[in-house]
């Protein structure tokens, strides 16, 4: 599921779908889910796109990055199309699947994993499937306990009994009764899914969570599969910022970068990062293709950025291909990709993260 937009991303999602947001220096959000699927030996993957999909489609230009280009299965990008029966956009997650029901019908795999593309995590879907079979569940929902105090009003919450069967489920409650949330990852039988979606469509209902999960919770055996490993959703500016900053922690880096299985992404053919005289880097991630001439502290610098002389970058995220002119000071900011910042500029996010979108004429490099 990669079609959504989200107002919580503010200016960042004007440029791209949330799932195409760059994460951790060299990845995009959707890479985590796609890599998990590839590493779980799921060979047939359909990506639903709708909102502002150019950047995402560009990223998915080849299935080879995630090893999906096999003779069995493959990577399918399903965008809304006009047909003789239908001229609607995807009106919801269930509708997106309904509009591509032939794809589901023509598949032969017994099970379906539904996952969103805006989360950062590692998960072996086979384990979820084994659990699903063991519990004789109709639907298994992957859940995660959020740290107490984390605002969770933008998630779906679940309450389980001792056997992990889900008893109660609420979508984006104002006052949450639990801190267990649904990760937006579901496992169920393909025929079961087709049946539910068809019924849903008959009643002109379009959302998988609201119109299927919550309505069926007492009728079907819906189980929760809890994960206690790293899991973050990036679909708000604050969470996007903090997820990136998490990668400055050694344990998070080791978990994602050093421990098998790997996370894959599109390879960009960029030269190594280059540090010239004046470069002073402290506790930061720097990606390939960057040229650094200034000070970078507690920041994540994405691919192919140029940081000029006497610049100071603090507690910030610099997205792909940003040019920062000399003597610039940036603190607590997210600098939008392909931006060009004039020399002698100053951007400080006070009382929160500031999103910097600057598209000046780039000086010839």
Tokens 């969470």 belong to which residue? 239
> Is residue 264 a contact residue for another protein (CB under 8 A)?
yes
Q: Are the C-beta atoms of residues 166 and 160 closer than 8 Å to each other?
A: yes
Q: Which stretch binds another protein (CB under 8 A): 19-27, 103-111, 186-194, 340-348?
A: 19-27
| Helices (H), ranges, 135-264 | 190-202, 208, 214-216, 237-246, 250-253
Among 269, 350, 351, 361, binds another protein (CB under 8 A): 269
Q: Which is nearer to another protein, 190 or 253 (CB)?
A: 253
- Residue 110 in the binding site for another protein (CB under 8 A): no
**Contacting another protein within 243-262 (CB under 8 A):** 248, 253, 256-257, 262
Which position has the token pair 């889900």?
Answer: 166
Q: Which of the 8 DSSP states describes residue 271?
A: P
Which of left, alpha, beta for 352 (phi over 0: left; psi -120 to 50: alpha)?
Answer: left
Q: Is 96 in the site for another protein (CB under 8 A)?
A: no
27 lies in the binding site for another protein (CB under 8 A) = yes
CB of 89 to another protein, least distance (A): 34
Give the footprint of another protein on residues 291-320 (CB under 8 A).
291, 296, 300-302
Q: Which is nearer to another protein, 64 or 177 (CB)?
A: 64
CA-closest candidate to residue 19, choices 35, 10, 32:
32
Size of the site for another protein (CB under 8 A): 39
| Identity of the residue, 131 or 264, whose beta carbon is nearer to another protein in the bound complex | 264
Nearest distance from residue 269's CB to another protein, in Å?
Answer: 5
> Least distance from C-beta 23 to another protein, angstroms?
11
275 lines the binding site for another protein (CB under 8 A): yes
H/E run at residue 84: none
Site string for another protein, 60-79 (x = CB under 8 A): ----x---------------
Minimum distance, C-beta of residue 274 to another protein, in the bound complex (Å): 5
For residues 155 and 142, what is the distance between their CA atoms, to the nearest angstrom? 13
Helix, strand or coil, per DSSP, at residue 139: strand
Question: For another protein, which is the closer residue by CB, 112 or 307?
Answer: 307
Residue selected from 19, 21, 24, 123 as contacting another protein according to rule CB under 8 A: 24
Cα gap 33→46, rounded to integer Å = 12
User: What backbone phi and psi angles, to 5 degrees, belong to 158?
Assistant: -135, 150
Q: Which of 181, 173, 166, 145 is nearest to 213 (CA)?
A: 166
Structure-token pair, residue 134: 């063991």
What are the residues whose beta carbons fall under 8 Å from the beta carbon of 285, sequence distance 6 or more? 24, 25, 247, 248, 299, 300, 301
Q: How far apart are CA 29 and CA 149, in angstroms?
A: 25
The yes or no reply on residue 286 touching another protein (CB under 8 A) is: yes
Residues that bind another protein (CB under 8 A): 24-27, 64, 248, 253, 256-257, 262-265, 267, 269, 271-289, 291, 296, 300-302
């Amino acid at each position: 599921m990669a079609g959504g937009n989200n107002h919580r991303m503010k200016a960042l999602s004007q440029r791209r779908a949330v799932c195409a947001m760059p994460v951790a220096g060299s990845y995009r959000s959707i890479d985590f889910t796609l890599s998990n699927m590839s590493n779980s030996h799921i060979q047939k993957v359909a990506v639903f796109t709708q909102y502002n999909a150019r950047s995402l489609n560009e990223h998915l230009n080849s299935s080879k990055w995630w090893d999906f280009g096999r003779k069995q299965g493959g990577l399918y990008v399903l965008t809304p199309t006009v047909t003789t029966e239908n001229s609607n956009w995807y009106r919801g997650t269930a509708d997106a699947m309904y509009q591509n029901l032939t794809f589901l019908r023509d598949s032969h795999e017994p099970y379906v994993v539904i996952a969103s593309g805006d989360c950062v995590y590692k998960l072996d879907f086979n384990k979820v499937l084994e659990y699903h079979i063991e519990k004789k569940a109709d639907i298994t929902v992957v859940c995660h306990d959020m740290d107490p105090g984390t605002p969770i009003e933008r998630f779906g919450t679940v309450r389980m009994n001792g056997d992990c069967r889900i008893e109660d489920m609420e979508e984006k409650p104002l006052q949450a009764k639990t801190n267990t949330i649904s990760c937006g990852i579901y496992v169920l039988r393909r025929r079961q899914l087709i049946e539910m979606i068809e019924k849903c469509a008959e009643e002109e209902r379009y959302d998988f969570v609201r119109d299927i999960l919550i309505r069926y919770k007492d009728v079907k055996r819906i189980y929760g599969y809890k994960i206690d490993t790293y899991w973050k959703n990036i679909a708000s500016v604050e969470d996007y910022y903090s997820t990136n900053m998490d990668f400055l922690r050694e344990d998070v880096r080791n978990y994602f970068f050093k421990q098998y299985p790997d996370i894959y992404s599109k390879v960009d053919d960029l030269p190594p990062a280059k540090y010239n005289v004046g470069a002073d880097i402290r506790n930061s991630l720097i990606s390939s293709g960057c040229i650094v001439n200034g000070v970078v502290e507690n920041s994540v610098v994405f691919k192919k950025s140029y940081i000029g002389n006497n610049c100071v970058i603090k507690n910030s995220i610099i997205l792909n291909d940003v040019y920062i002119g000399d003597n610039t000071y940036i603190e607590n900011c997210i600098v939008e990709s392909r931006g060009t910042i004039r020399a002698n500029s100053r951007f400080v996010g006070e009382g929160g993260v500031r999103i910097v979108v600057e598209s000046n004429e780039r000086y010839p490099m």
